[in-house]
């Protein structure tokens, strides 16, 4: 898939970048885009606990539904108790 760069200043910047880095035009544009994306993602605020819990809620509900469908009625506490002994160490 090709791109059509219509801005002379953008084209010049891309060509200057490619020349300065010793890369081809495609590689220079790709690396520049990936580096910018990395910076943007790094600048975003971290996901809040509430947002995380809201995002995983459908998965939790699906797991609970499958457990119930298979006759597993243990509570979360009962499931945790099976993993650890009375001293809190893994079984």
Give the residue, 43 or 34, on which the prediction is more confident.
Answer: 34
pLDDT of residue 33: 94
Select the highest-mean-pLDDT range: 40-44, 46-50, 60-64: 60-64
**pTM for the full predicted model:** 0.48
- Triad 12, 18, 23: Cα angle to 5°: 160
Please give the mean pLDDT across all residues of the chain.
91
Is the pLDDT assigned to residue 46 strictly greater than 80?
Answer: no
**Residues in CB range of 74: below 8 A, 6 or more apart:** 67
Q: How far apart are CA 36 and CA 33, in angstroms?
A: 5
Report the percentage of the chain scoring pLDDT > 70: 100
């Amino acid at each position: 898939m090709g791109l059509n760069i219509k801005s002379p200043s953008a084209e010049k910047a891309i060509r200057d970048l490619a020349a300065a880095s010793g890369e081809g035009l495609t590689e220079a544009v790709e690396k520049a885009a990936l580096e910018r994306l990395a910076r943007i993602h790094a600048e975003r605020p971290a996901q809040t606990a509430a947002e995380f819990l809201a995002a995983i809620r459908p998965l939790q509900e699906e797991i609970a539904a499958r457990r119930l469908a298979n006759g597993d009625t243990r509570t979360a506490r009962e499931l945790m108790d099976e993993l650890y002994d009375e001293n809190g160490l893994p079984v």
